[in-house]
Amino acid sequence: MNSNLFTQLGETISKKQYTAKDLSVTSRQLNYWKFKDVIPFLRKNRMTLLTLPEALWLSIVTELSNIGISSKKIEALSNKIWIEPLFSRYADETLKSAIENKKGEHSQEDVEWFKNLLNDEIAMHSVFRRDITPYMDSIKSCLRLERQIVTFIYCPRTEEYMFSYYNKAITSEMNSLFYGETLISIPYLPHLAKLIGLDMERHKEDLQYLSDVENQIRRTIIFDKPKLIEVVVNENGKSKIHTITESHKNQEELAKFFLNTKLPAGSSALVEKRSQGNYKVTIKS
């Protein structure tokens, strides 16, 4: 990811805009977690507005709590997710790896930006060591153009966890780490779709983590209110048709569509109005 896109995505997901009510978490439960210091970013005697990563983690914590994981274990897990990467300087090692990358994945401009960051202790401590963590990386993987399906995996007995990206290497690693253990699996998709749906409802302007084509489809739905949209994806000489119906006017359903449907990166869209309030969107890579 180039430095400009990295910064834009970081700024977008760091906006504090979600409340416990948005997540169906009661004030009583939230105050209990604050009192017990269960979650690092919840502060006592303060109004609680959450960023997208904080809101997603609170949703995960709620699921863990609902199936009987103790507050003590959730506190330990939250510290591993939010605190340990700061002190282990995960961000520093990530930037060093990017600088030393020999595959040409980063421009010289980006490499110089990474070097300047590493030399800026104030920026690293106050921002980037909090923004570059395994958990944050997993969320950004879901929101980039080349989206990945991510699931949080937790083993209650050993208190180990991992982020599963559904590839062979991760599956092999998961078998090695957790063979024979009871695991809890919490997919990001339903929780992210709800949060992104809320973001869509609250902001009419384009969203940074949606591609140009996705924002174009979203604008068509919001302003033209079609009954049906046929999305025809032409890639490598093959066509695939996706259908967006009136149900997708519910922003959460539209968010699920975007998260589930990998539209080609760098593609363009031709929007055609048809009869009876229908539209056809042809996407070419």
Give residue-wise pLDDT tens across range 30-69: 999 988 889 999 887 777 899 999 999 999 999 999 999 9
3-7, 77-81, 145-149, 235-239: segment of lowest average pLDDT: 3-7
What per-residue confidence (pLDDT) applies to 67?
Answer: 95
What value does the mean pLDDT of the chain take?
86
Q: Give pLDDT, residue 234.
A: 74
Instruction: Specify the pLDDT at position 76.
Output: 96
Q: Kindly state the tokens that stand for 272.
A: 């055609």
pLDDT of 12 > 70? The answer is: yes
129 neighbors 89 (Cβ within 8 angstroms)? yes
Q: What does DSSP assign to residue 14?
A: T
Counting other chains too, the contacts that 67-74 makes at CB distance below 8 Å and 24 or more residues apart are 67/184, 69/154, 69/156, 69/184, 71/32, 71/33, 71/36, 71/38, 73/156, 73/159, 74/38, 74/39
Query: What CA dihedral angle connects 65, 67, 69 and 71, to 10 degrees?
Result: 20
Instruction: Say which residue the tokens 């363009």 belong to.
Output: 268
**What are the tens digits of pLDDT across the range 101-157?**
877 778 888 889 999 999 999 999 998 999 999 999 999 988 886 788 899 999 999
Which residue in 151, 131, 158 sits closest to 53, CA to CA? Answer: 131
Residues 235-252 have a mean pLDDT of: 78
Q: Is the pLDDT score of 18 beyond 60? A: yes
Tell me the backbone φ, ψ of residue 2, rounded to 5 degrees: -75, 165
Q: Is pLDDT of 248 > 60?
A: yes
Q: pLDDT tens digits for 191-203?
A: 999 999 999 888 8
Q: Which residue has the tokens 């998260």?
A: 259
- For residue 172, pLDDT over 80 is answered with no
User: Which neighbouring-strand residues pair with 199?
Assistant: none
Residue range 225-252: average pLDDT? 79
Alpha-carbon torsion (226, 262, 143, 112), positive or negative: negative
Residues listed for the chain: 285
Output the six-digit token pair for 227: 């009954």
Cα separation, 276 vs 53, whole angstroms: 41
Rg of the chain (C-alpha set): 21
Where does residue 268 fall: left (phi above 0), alpha (psi -120 to 50 degrees), or beta otherwise? beta
How many whole angstroms separate alpha carbon 279 and alpha carbon 244? 10
Q: CA-CA distance, 55 to 58, in Å (whole number)?
A: 5
State the pLDDT at residue 241: 83
Q: Residue 181: its pLDDT value, please?
A: 82
Q: Determine the Cα–Cα distance for residues 221 and 217; give it in Å rounded to an integer.
A: 6
- Report the percentage of the chain scoring pLDDT > 70: 90
The per-residue pLDDT for 6 is: 65
- Residue of 257, 256, 261, 219 whose CA lies nearest to 240: 261
